[in-house]
Amino acid sequence: MYVKPKKELGQHFLKDLSIAQRIAELLTGHGEYKKVLEIGPGMGVLTQFVLNDTRFETYVIEIDRESVDYLKQHFPALDGHILPADFLNIRPDLLPTKQPDSTELFAVIGNFPYNISTQILFKILDMRDRVPEVVGMFQREVAQRVASGPGNKDYGILSVLLQAWYDIKYEFTVDPSVFNPPPKVFSGVLSLRRNAVTDLGCDVRKFTQVVKHGFSQRRKTLRNALKPLNPTEAALASPFMDKRAEQLSVAQFVELTQLMMNDEL
């Protein structure tokens, strides 16, 4: 039995076992979770190595019916651990085991479809208190953006929002030739590990708005980019306002948000 990669699902199946093993070995158990959820396992090239790690109980979530049938046939160890669903649309409390009202911790791993990888990260961000570790393969440009720091042209909204809650490392680059079919771009593997932050010290919704508005016109100073948010006098007096968004660290965005918190954003 063979699963044909489907373009509409953004499927590029990894065929290099050594790379799959390297990705699986990046799971550290950070946060003392016991369950791992793999997104989009396809034909299980990565899955087999996650299953071999006896520290964890492995679950997979797969939207492709053909892949689900393949996994059931070739990986009996996944019996009862396959969620035939769309990760982006499933209720968070049903993850990773499809048991309602779940609050348990779990890690996320996967060779993520490039067309939805950013959406996957935003959903994980919403579940940050339940997902202490993420290991994933992305389009290289997305991976670089997530891991970039202040002053870098790749540094942006996703960088700041994720780095507020996770320590992020760009692990290694993957050549297109190790996939079937080969994508037209290089891939990059990231690891994200939940940091010790439980409270930013400001309203998270307002922090997100400040970051998004700041980068919406990244060539402008924050004084101009944040005008629609009606900055307070304290915010307007801040030296941050004369900088561009890409020049501010996460901590500085938090500080700027605190200065703006007297106003409704």
| DSSP helix/strand/coil, 139 | strand
The helix/strand/coil state of 53 is: coil
CA 168 from chain center: how many Å? 10
Q: Which residues contact 199 (CB under 8 A, 6 or more apart)?
A: none
How far, in Å, CA of 131 to CA of 106, rounded?
5
- 111 assigned ligand-binding residue: yes
* 3-class DSSP assignment, residue 69: helix
Q: Is 40 annotated as a binding residue?
A: yes
Establish whether 12 is an annotated binding residue.
yes
Cβ–Cβ under 8 Å, residues 135 and 189: yes
Write out the two tokens for 196. Answer: 């010790």
The reply to whether 32 sits in an annotated binding site is no
133 a known binding residue?
no
Does the annotation list 246 as a binding residue? no
Amino acid at 264: E
Q: Which residues are annotated as a binding site for S-adenosyl-L-methionine?
A: 12, 14, 40, 62, 86, 111
Q: Which residues are annotated as a binding site?
A: 12, 14, 40, 62, 86, 111
